[in-house]
């Protein structure tokens, strides 16, 4: 995707995401709608959230194939994002020490922490079958999606 196009596409997606949220519906429906929007509009392999519960991340809502259900804080890409509170961009999953391979199809991945009152509440895990699929533009806009999700978790 060209840089300018990518920004424009995400700006439109973000507006669509904001418009999809309907507080007359269950929060889970709204989260599923946001995840579905990302997965199908960005042609992703898997998009989902893992929710922090003590020293574990537990699989929450997702769009895509069944996945690992529990991840220790500090383990894998998701655990690292939860532990550090920092976005993890993994351009080649084979090069990430301790990578947890839920699906062999995934070649690159971005994981963003959803932070409220200084605490990581969940992580948003976004997987692609393409190598090197994510950059700072994805980080910028997917962080904005995390801010939408945080009101619903």
Interaction site with ligand SME (CB under 6 A):
46, 67-68, 71, 76-79, 99-100, 102, 106, 109, 125, 127
Residue closer to ligand SME by CB (options 15, 98) is 98
Residue closer to ligand SME by CB (options 37, 82) is 82
Q: How far is the CB of 23 from ligand SME (least distance, A)?
A: 28
Q: Whole-angstrom Cα distance, residue 14 to residue 11? A: 5
Q: How far is the CB of 5 from ligand SME (least distance, A)?
A: 27
Query: Closest residue (Cβ) to ligand SME?
Result: 76
With beta carbons less than 8 A apart as the criterion, state whether 60 and 69 touch.
no
With beta carbons less than 8 A apart as the criterion, state whether 134 and 110 touch.
yes
Position of tokens 């392999």? Answer: 45
Residue closer to ligand SME by CB (options 11, 55) is 55
With beta carbons less than 8 A apart as the criterion, state whether 58 and 51 touch.
yes
> How many CA within 13 A on the CB side of residue 102?
23
Q: How far is the CB of 2 from ligand SME (least distance, A)?
A: 27
Residue closer to ligand SME by CB (options 29, 99) is 99
Q: How far is the CB of 92 from ligand SME (least distance, A)?
A: 13
Q: Whole-angstrom Cα distance, residue 110 to residue 127? A: 7
Largest CA distance in the chain: 44
């Amino acid at each position: 995707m060209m840089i300018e196009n990518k920004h424009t596409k995400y700006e439109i997606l973000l507006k669509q995401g904001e418009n999809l949220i309907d507080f007359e519906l269950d929060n889970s429906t709204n989260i599923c709608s946001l995840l579905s929007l990302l997965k199908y509009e960005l042609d992703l392999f898997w998009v989902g959230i893992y929710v922090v519960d003590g020293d574990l991340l537990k699989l929450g809502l997702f769009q895509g194939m069944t996945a690992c259900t529990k991840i220790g804080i500090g383990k894998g890409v998701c655990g690292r994002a939860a532990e550090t509170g920092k976005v993890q961009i993994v351009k080649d999953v084979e090069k990430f020490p301790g990578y947890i391979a839920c699906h062999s199809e995934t070649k690159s991945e971005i994981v963003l922490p959803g932070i409220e009152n200084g605490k990581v509440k969940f992580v948003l895990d976004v997987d692609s079958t393409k190598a090197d699929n994510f950059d700072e533009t994805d980080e910028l806009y997917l962080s904005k999606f995390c801010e939408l999700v945080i009101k619903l978790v």
